[in-house]
Amino acid sequence: MADRVTLSEAEWKAKLEPFEYTVLREKATERAGTGEYDKFKPAEGYFSCRGCGNPLYSAQAKFDSGCGWPAFDRCYKGAIETHVDASYGMRRVEIVCAKCGGHQGHVFEGERFTETNERHCVNSASIKYVKGPPPSEAQAAGEEAVTKRKM
């Protein structure tokens, strides 16, 4: 991705609130049901990375999965990168912002909540709601399901 954001850890700590830093940079997870965007379902707008402002998800991609975290079934094309996360004795697919590498959460497949068959389980501390249309670059890229790509 062009315009990659690379800051030192000291710069990230100065830019982010302490808990945002812990989630985005140290891969922590907020407790289920505690995030500001868990039950928030706007009719318009988009969600961007709280670390760098990169548009990640449209409001239309958000759905209530009942898992206790904001859930999305697709992201803007090229907005998210995936990595295998083998922590805690299990295999999961971690999702990070493609622009700054900030930890967003994990993506799960096969639950049949939506047509894409994906649930991007995202920390509210990792994202920021923005009212209005996304930047034209994000709109032009469209949206995609991330697990359909090879990992």
Give the active site residues: 121
Rounded distance between C-alpha atoms, residue 5 and residue 149, angstroms: 24
Cβ–Cβ under 8 Å, residues 54 and 133: no
Dihedral angle at the C-alpha atoms of 79, 71, 113, 44, nearest 10 degrees?
-80
**Sequence-separated (6 or more) residues with CB below 8 Å from residue 140:** none
Instruction: Please calculate the CA angle 55-56-60 and round it to the nearest 5 degrees.
Output: 105
- Tell me the H-state helices in 9-135: 9-15, 18-26
Distance between CA atoms of residues 107 and 117, nearest Å:
10
